[in-house]
């Protein structure tokens, strides 16, 4: 294996060795969301005419799990390595910033897809999944997990202690995730909040991902693809720049 492949393997092995915590636990959390929200709101909320609320909820929970765990993978790896002091062993290697980026983002995508796949399998025991366009599902899952993996690199480089990382998750990732239409259609919101939702790139990830299941969505999947692609390009460029200059890791 060459350099980036070795680092990628190390990062995948890191989260897989504690798979009960990094994969199984998020799957259980998503299942609890489905059980509680589905049971309480199934007879009270109608989003699309032919789609039960519980079925509508599943793609949102899958994508939410993909995004949160992709971010957690790269960000936790970097902050732990910085605090424990073992990041120096990676710095000593002749790896380029591109190798770092591909390895960290690639392993984040792997973890995000593993968790998302687990959530989809478990929820299929309760709701029969629909696959109107599997290609859209795969595209948005990969692009979304890639963007959150790159964002995790930025957060991991910026944070110097665990409470800063927790603040990033609590005040950036969690609000953007829960205000993205995981549990509702934005058409059920007042006009002002609909406009706010259109400024949230997470909304386009989840809406486009949901389109792959049902063939219906709040906005065009092509618009969602354009927004997510642009957001991925911007975040990736920022992460690559910080890796290239060694932001907070080469001092």
Q: How many domains does the chain have?
A: 1
Best CA proximity match to 130, nearest among 45, 41, 215, 46: 215
Q: How many CB atoms lie within 10 A of CB 128?
A: 9
Q: Is residue 173 part of a domain?
A: yes
Q: What is residue 144's predicted lDDT score, i.e. its pLDDT? A: 97
Q: Is residue 100 part of a domain?
A: yes
pLDDT tens for each residue of 58-68: 999 999 999 99
CB 179 within 8 A of CB 200: yes
Q: What is residue 46's predicted lDDT score, i.e. its pLDDT? A: 66
pLDDT tens for each residue of 205-220: 999 999 999 998 889 9
Q: What is residue 75's predicted lDDT score, i.e. its pLDDT? A: 95
Counting every residue written for the chain, the total comes to 251
Structural domain for 38, as ranges: 3-245
Q: What is residue 156's predicted lDDT score, i.e. its pLDDT? A: 95
Q: Is residue 250 part of a domain?
A: no
The Cα 92–Cα 101 span in angstroms is 16
- Whether 107 has a pLDDT exceeding 70, the answer reads yes
Token duo for residue 193: 């909040």
The Cα 216–Cα 237 span in angstroms is 32
Once rounded to an integer, what is the mean pLDDT over residues 46-51?
72
Q: Is residue 179 part of a domain?
A: yes
Q: Is residue 135 part of a domain?
A: yes
Token duo for residue 176: 């953007």
Q: What is residue 183's predicted lDDT score, i.e. its pLDDT? A: 83
- Whether 182 has a pLDDT exceeding 90, the answer reads no
- Whether 102 has a pLDDT exceeding 90, the answer reads yes
- Whether 53 has a pLDDT exceeding 70, the answer reads yes
pTM above 0.85, yes or no: yes
Of 7-11, 43-47, 147-151, 208-212, give the lowest mean pLDDT range. 43-47
Token duo for residue 2: 């060459």
Residue percentage of the chain with pLDDT more than 70: 96
CB 240 within 8 A of CB 98: yes
Give the long-range contacts of residues 196-205, CB within 8 A, separation 24 or more. Answer: 200/176, 201/147, 201/176, 201/227, 201/228, 201/231, 202/67, 202/176, 202/177, 203/179, 204/228, 204/231, 205/63, 205/67, 205/140, 205/143, 205/144, 205/147, 205/180
Q: What is residue 21's predicted lDDT score, i.e. its pLDDT? A: 92
Best CA proximity match to 126, nearest among 26, 36, 22, 216: 36
Residues with Cβ < 8 Å from 144, sequence gap 6 or more? 63, 66, 67, 70, 112, 205, 209, 228
Q: Is residue 251 part of a domain?
A: no
* Residue 36 pLDDT class (50, 70, 90 cuts): confident
Q: Across 1-15, 148-162, 174-188, which has the greatest mean pLDDT?
A: 148-162
- Whether 42 has a pLDDT exceeding 70, the answer reads no
């Amino acid at each position: 294996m060459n350099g980036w492949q070795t680092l990628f393997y190390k990062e995948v092995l890191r989260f897989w060795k504690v798979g009960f915590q990094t994969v199984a636990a998020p799957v259980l959390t998503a299942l609890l969301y489905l059980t509680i929200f589905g049971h309480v709101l199934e007879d009270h909320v109608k989003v699309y005419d032919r789609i039960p609320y519980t079925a509508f909820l599943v793609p949102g929970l899958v994508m939410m799990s993909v995004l949160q765990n992709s971010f957690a993978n790269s960000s936790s790896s970097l902050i732990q390595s910085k605090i424990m002091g073992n990041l120096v062993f990676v710095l000593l290697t002749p790896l380029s910033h591109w190798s770092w980026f591909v390895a960290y983002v690639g392993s984040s995508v792997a973890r995000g897809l593993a968790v998302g796949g687990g959530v989809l399998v478990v929820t299929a025991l309760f709701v029969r999944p629909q696959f109107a366009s599997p290609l859209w599902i795969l595209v948005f899952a990969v692009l979304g997990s890639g963007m959150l993996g790159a964002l995790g690199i930025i957060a991991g480089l910026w944070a110097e202690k665990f409470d800063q990382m927790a603040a990033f998750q609590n005040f950036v990732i969690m609000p953007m995730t829960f205000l993205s239409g995981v549990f509702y259609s934005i058409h059920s919101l007042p006009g002002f909040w609909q406009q706010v939702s259109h400024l949230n790139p997470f909304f386009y990830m989840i809406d486009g991902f949901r389109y792959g299941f049902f063939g219906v969505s709040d906005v065009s999947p092509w618009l969602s693809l354009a927004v997510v692609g642009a957001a991925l390009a911007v975040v990736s460029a920022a992460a690559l720049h910080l890796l290239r200059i060694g932001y907070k890791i080469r001092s």
